[in-house]
Structure 1
Amino acid sequence: MKATASSSTTSVNTSAEVFAFRKQFPIFENKIHLASNSKGALCQAVILAHQEYLESWKRDGAPWHTWVGRHESLRASFAEMIGAKLHEVAVCPSVSVALYSIASCLDWRERPAVVFDDFSFPSVTYLWHAQASRGAEIRRVHPDGNGEIPPEAFDAVLDERVRLVSVAHVCYKNGHRLDLPAIARKTHNAGAWLVVDDYQSSGSRPLNVRQTGIDILTTGTVKFMLGSAGVTLLYVREELLPELHPTLTGWFGQKNPEDFQIDRHIEAPDAARFQNGTPAIPAIYDSLAGIEQIKSVGLNTIASWIDQLTALLMDRLQEEGFVPATPKDPGKRGPQVAIRSYDMDAAVAELARRNICVTSRDGNIRIAFHYYNTPDDIEVLIENMKQMPKLMVRR
């Protein structure tokens, strides 16, 4: 079974594999889900995994060895997904906590500068701003006149005082995707570390941390990785571990979490030292199932499909006179397209009334694709936006 949709410049064929994948997500029985940048759609595999957790709790009471085993399986699965080693990965409750574990290791008297880009998620910027009280010096990278941040924009802020460069791979507001390899080269040439927030991309395209030159990466499973809130994955390049000793810790950050002594702190010898207290076990079950669901398709396949859908949507917006806030260059786009609106909240509410799930930020409605979306979703979106002239900007 195949379906074809096209614009004047783009033609997209929907394969039987896409339709089969879509059937595993019950929301599509009644709605069109275009909000994976906020929350991935719930799939049957995650429902079953959550039920498995509940059944283990009901049946066995407190099977912590089973639950910890699932925790370690999540670490291993994510490590494989990003081209890392198990001992380079930690499970944390949020990106804010994960990055504070890193920040707690740093003496800001040497190389005090922190660079972040203006497309960073606010929670990350709050964390770095807070380090100013400990001696950190904040530097920012602004978008150019086209609303983009090219690698050369970092040149003016990089010098021997910079400790780390913190960037968002994909902007949460407009879907702009940074050129990470180029930024990594500039960062390393300055002797600094590259810290990447991959929350708005992980699960939508392949990313090999070693090949890309990433030193530290954080991401969550709640969006394109199809899991639940409460799980963040942290990667720390193994060569950095000898100089990083977090003061934010807990029993899951110890060399032996079951050594319940109170005489001393014995941190884990690997990235597990960045873990804290008791993890969110239900979310770990859900998130492992989500990652395995993605792996069953393959990230290259998912990325290719998302790229086709974003190209088709950009073409259709152009044809119908809607105004995107997302870069036209496919190499600068992630899985999200932002569209200008006169009233973003009202537009989201109106589309929800019409059973189309989207989100909003920065004066735009945001459309995010996954392997479960189809060109028909785009046509339904376009037709409904055409019926909302007071809410959507058109040329």
Structure 2
Amino acid sequence: MNTKQYKSYFHLPDGIYALAHSVGPLPKVSKIALQEHYLSPWEELGGDAWPKWIEAIDNFCAAIAKLINASSDEICPQANLASGFSAYLGAIAKLPRNKHKRKVLMHQDAFASMGFVVSALADSYGLDLVLVNGNPNNLAAWETELAKENVLACLFTHVHSNTSAKSEVKPLVELAKAHDAYALVDIAQSVGVVPVDAKAWNADAIFGSCVKWLCGGPGAGYMFVQAKQIKELNPDPVGWFSHQNPFEFDISNFAPADTARRFWGGTPSVASYVTACASINMILEIGVENVAQHNFELKRHLLQILPNTLTIKPTIDELHQQGGSLCLGCDDMDSAAAKLTAAGVRFDRRDKIFRISLHIMNTREDVEVIAECFA
């Protein structure tokens, strides 16, 4: 696939950018949108800019809904994954019918922040974190823990950050629901490079961010809450943007929004949603399926030309079970790291693993430079 024209869509640091799993590069449209939809209204209207800012956040929610096949009313902006996950867990934990369910299951390779949320809620709600080991798609391993009963929820990681292993979400969701547990999904490492379909999955809640493959920058998190359960959930904390009418300002009348926005909270950081909305719409215009195909082709090419001496690398067949990142390892990690740095490759390292992420702006020439660093 010829995607060289997309390189011009971004403000890119010098060198070869392979860090989309960490922070996606800044799209030029996002910088323009920040000025047009956030700074200019503030400059021209001051405190009267709120209607335009709220419209911009509405557009963000609509873009997320289109991206993951959901309704805008099922989307609530969040600062990050942990804030939405914490609010949702608290809301389901305090439902009377769940009073005996205190276990939360997640895979051992789940993002650490999500585990911290469960541990932090132990005192308030008595929640207990249980980790599942091995292949994240081993249904038997999940069922072993679910069969012990008292499981409140399972958090499934769509793509794991340290291995790039991809979970087959739909059968995992079905398994959790068969055991009367809430089925939740973390899509931070997948959305934008792996298709996400909230309706097909039938998950109760989904948590994501825009900072990685969506190139939306930090601060633009979001949560999806299935429409049929929204009105029975009363999260804490709340704030004026959790209200049906945030500008009513009647301190004695809190009426929670009848959409997912009851999970919103206090004054939002408008700028992050403005920049992220522009980047999401850019990705939608390019097509997630095109990003995914390009990413796969580049990874396959890299694997074909990497030396056989690497100690850790997936096979071509294994690529189909992975997300956008390549996790690579070799005997002399320090030497390879030095070569990658000298070649201008922007990557990161987790102990014995290099994480390399190739997005729509990367080329076959980039891949060949990376391969040379392992020669």
- Could you say whether these structures have the same fold, taking a TM-score greater than 0.5 normalized by the shorter chain as the test? yes
Structure 1 residue 352: Cα displacement: 3.5
Structure 1 residue 74: Cα displacement: 0.5
Deviates further, 158-167 or 230-239: 158-167
Structure 1 residue 345: Cα displacement: 7.9
2:289 counterpart residue number: 300
**Aligned residue among 354, 359, 363 for 2:352:** 363
Tell me: CA distance 1:347–1:383, structure 2 relative to 1, closer, same or farther (3 Å): closer
Q: Distance in 2 between matches of 1:118 and 1:187?
A: 17
User: Structure 1, residues 290-320: CA drift from partner, whole Å, max 9, x if none?
Assistant: 1001011111121122122222223333x44
1:391 counterpart residue number: none
Q: CA RMSD, aligned part only?
A: 2.0
| 1:265 pairs with 2:227 | no
| 1:84 pairs with 2:31 | no
Indicate if the aligned counterparts of 2:75 and 2:261 stay in contact, CA closer than 8 A.
yes
2:42 counterpart residue number: 57
Deviates further, 258-267 or 307-316: 307-316
Gaps of 5+ in 2: none
2:142 counterpart residue number: 154
Aligned residue runs from structure 1 range 276-315, under 5 A: 276-315=265-304
Q: Distance in 2 between matches of 1:248 and 1:305?
A: 42
Tell me: CA distance 1:169–1:44, structure 2 relative to 1, closer, same or farther (3 Å): same
* Residue identity in the other structure for 1:21: Y
Indicate if the aligned counterparts of 1:112 and 1:135 stay in contact, CA closer than 8 A.
yes
| 1:27 pairs with 2:12 | yes
Tell me: CA distance 1:38–1:101, structure 2 relative to 1, closer, same or farther (3 Å): same
TM-score, scaled relative to structure 2: 0.92
Q: Percent identity?
A: 24
Structure 1 residue 368: Cα displacement: 0.9
Q: How many residues align?
A: 366
Q: Distance in 2 between matches of 1:293 and 1:41?
A: 13
Indicate if the aligned counterparts of 2:26 and 2:217 stay in contact, CA closer than 8 A.
no
Deviates further, 125-134 or 338-347: 338-347
1:354 counterpart residue number: 343
**Aligned residue among 79, 88, 113 for 2:103:** 113
Q: Distance in 1 between matches of 2:229 and 2:314?
A: 35
**Aligned residue among 120, 129, 148 for 1:138:** 129
Q: Distance in 2 between matches of 1:293 and 1:121?
A: 27
Tell me: CA distance 1:241–1:326, structure 2 relative to 1, closer, same or farther (3 Å): farther
**Aligned residue among 311, 319, 326 for 1:330:** 319
* Residue identity in the other structure for 1:51: Q
* Residue identity in the other structure for 1:265: F
Q: Could you say what secondary structure the match of 2:26 adopts? A: coil
Structure 1 residue 125: Cα displacement: 0.5
Indicate if the aligned counterparts of 2:61 and 2:76 stay in contact, CA closer than 8 A.
yes
Tell me: CA distance 1:193–1:316, structure 2 relative to 1, closer, same or farther (3 Å): farther
* Residue identity in the other structure for 2:60: L
Gaps of 5+ in 1: 1-13, 387-395
Q: Distance in 2 between matches of 1:264 and 1:142?
A: 47
Deviates further, 350-359 or 164-173: 350-359
User: Structure 1, residues 249-270: CA drift from partner, whole Å, max 9, x if none?
Assistant: 1111111110112113221111
Structure 1 residue 118: Cα displacement: 0.9
Indicate if the aligned counterparts of 2:137 and 2:172 stay in contact, CA closer than 8 A.
no
Q: Could you say what secondary structure the match of 2:374 adopts? A: helix
TM-score, scaled relative to structure 1: 0.87
Indicate if the aligned counterparts of 2:184 and 2:203 stay in contact, CA closer than 8 A.
yes
Q: Could you say what secondary structure the match of 1:269 adopts? A: coil
Q: Distance in 1 between matches of 2:168 and 2:314?
A: 15
2:80 counterpart residue number: 94
Structure 1 residue 349: Cα displacement: 6.5
Indicate if the aligned counterparts of 2:106 and 2:154 stay in contact, CA closer than 8 A.
yes
Q: Distance in 2 between matches of 1:384 and 1:77?
A: 39
* Residue identity in the other structure for 1:57: W
User: Structure 1, residues 136-175: CA drift from partner, whole Å, max 9, x if none?
Assistant: 232211125xxx6433321211134211101211111111
* Residue identity in the other structure for 2:17: H
1:224 counterpart residue number: 213
User: Structure 1, residues 71-119: CA drift from partner, whole Å, max 9, x if none?
Assistant: 0110111111111111110001111111111122123622222111111
Indicate if the aligned counterparts of 2:336 and 2:373 stay in contact, CA closer than 8 A.
no
1:178 counterpart residue number: 167
Tell me: CA distance 1:54–1:129, structure 2 relative to 1, closer, same or farther (3 Å): same
Indicate if the aligned counterparts of 1:164 and 1:195 stay in contact, CA closer than 8 A.
yes
